[in-house]
Amino acid sequence: MKAARIALRSAAPLAATTTGGGIGRATSEVEHFARYSPSPLSIKQFLDFGSTNACERTSFSFLRHELPVRLANILKEIDFLPSPLLITPSVQLVKSWYVQSLMELVEFREKKPDDHKVLSDFIDAIVKVRNRHHDVVPTMAQGVLEYRDSSKMDPFTNQNIQYFLDRFYMSRISIRMLINQHTLIFDNSNSQGNPKHIGCIDPCCDVVDLVHDAFQSAQMLCDQYYFASPDLKLIQVNGKTAGQPIHIVYVPSHLFHMLFELFKNAMRATVEHQEKKPFLDPIEVTVVLGKEDLSIKISDRGGGVPVRKIESLFSYTYSTAPKPVMDSNNSTPLAGFGYGLPISRLYAKYFQGDLNLCSISGYGTDALIYLKALSTESVEKLPVFNKSACKHYQLAIEADDWCVPSKEPKNLSRQSAVA
């Protein structure tokens, strides 16, 4: 928690601006922008804008409204969290970051897009927002841990936290996407972008190359930790153009994140399950490009997972790794928070894809990534704050209309004797 205290002190300027009338103004701005629904973009729209008619003034005019809208929509949902979770220092810190970012962006609402200094200041502002939100994931995760350790997690509360975090982190992915696109295309001082990319989008993303890169990165970690690692066995099938390499229009960093996480899990399971074998079975990867979908199947022989645990693997309150500890360097690892799989699935769903697990207990697990093959169908999946969202936080879990088996079998002879 030392890192959280340091960050809270750094947020002191916000406290000064949100006292008295400042709080009222911030609340008013959140209410104003939350009335609007976010405007989802397709990968093709990102690509067309960045490659053919990239206009910084147009992008500025869109983002100065769209970014506050996305921030305000999710800020409204934060207030629906259970009070013991909402008042934790970590969650309050994250909320203060979001309010501060929204208020800084609101300052550009009336400024003229023809002013070059305004455009330059806007880039500085959104880079500042991105840097401020860098530790949102571990900080929010720390808040959930604090709440879980101090309060009883009933199924209804757990369901609402899961619902909120899926939407909260999806919103964060989308905000970073917008900021990265703008800065990579229009920030002349930024030389980190790939010249073949349009912002952070690769118009010709080589999927097999990305599989190899992610596998080698995970393999290096596995070797460091276990002094052993399985090999890769890869099959690719181009169902659209037989014999040709598989390319799609996509965000390489998103796909790398998914692959790296799945390879880490597969390698860990394989090494630990087969520790007594003289050699490790390879991890098999099948990449298939169809007319509508790109599918990637990652298969391991790591012993599998019981069916009853599959869904819990995507829960933010479940992890098989040791509980992490926040350190003074603010460099909290995601391992142990249980966020690897759920956030990887969000990356897949962000552009209308999906990530599923199919496991055979005692044998192994198949992890499947589905992505849209067409950039026109790869449209952002964004949370919107409305009556349906409010209702979700208020509805309790209804009683099951199927019999729930008891842990112990009934003693029918005793029941008949009583009768």
Q: At what angle do helices 43-51 and 155-186 cross, to 10 degrees?
A: 20
Given the residues 254, 257, 273, 372, select the one marked as catalytic. Answer: 257
Q: At what angle do helices 155-186 and 136-150 cross, to 10 degrees?
A: 170
**Cα–Cα distance between 9 and 12 in angstroms, integer?**
5
257 part of the active site: yes
Given the residues 265, 273, 284, 372, select the one marked as catalytic. Answer: 265
- What the block records as the tokens of 394 is 């208020």
When computed from its CA atoms, the radius of gyration of the chain, rounded to whole angstroms, is: 24
- 10 Å CB burial of residue 16 (0-12, 13-18, 19+) is exposed
**Cα–Cα distance between 307 and 290 in angstroms, integer?**
29
- Residue 204's H or E segment, with its range, is strand 202-206
**Residue 167 CA: distances (Å) to CA of 79, 117, 171, 349, 356:** 14, 35, 6, 11, 18
265 part of the active site: yes
104 part of the active site: no
**Cα–Cα distance between 235 and 229 in angstroms, integer?**
20
Contacts of 419 (CB under 8 A, 6+ apart): none
Residue showing tokens 């970014």: 67
Given the residues 254, 264, 273, 372, select the one marked as catalytic. Answer: 264
* CB distance 105 to 62 below 8 Å: no
264 part of the active site: yes
Separation of first and last alpha carbons in the chain: 59
HSE of 13, CA atoms in CB hemisphere, 13 A: 6
**Residue 64 CA: distances (Å) to CA of 61, 175, 371:** 6, 12, 30
Phi and psi, residue 223, nearest 5°:
-65, -40
**Residue type for position 408:** E
List, in sequence order, every beta strand (DSSP E) within 15-136. none
The vertex-142 CA angle with 141 and 144, nearest 5°, equals 65
**Residue 375 CA: distances (Å) to CA of 99, 255, 295, 351, 404:** 33, 15, 15, 9, 45
Phi and psi, residue 350, nearest 5°:
-55, -40
Given the residues 66, 261, 284, 380, select the one marked as catalytic. Answer: 261
* CB distance 77 to 167 below 8 Å: yes
Q: Which residues are catalytic?
A: 257, 261, 264-265
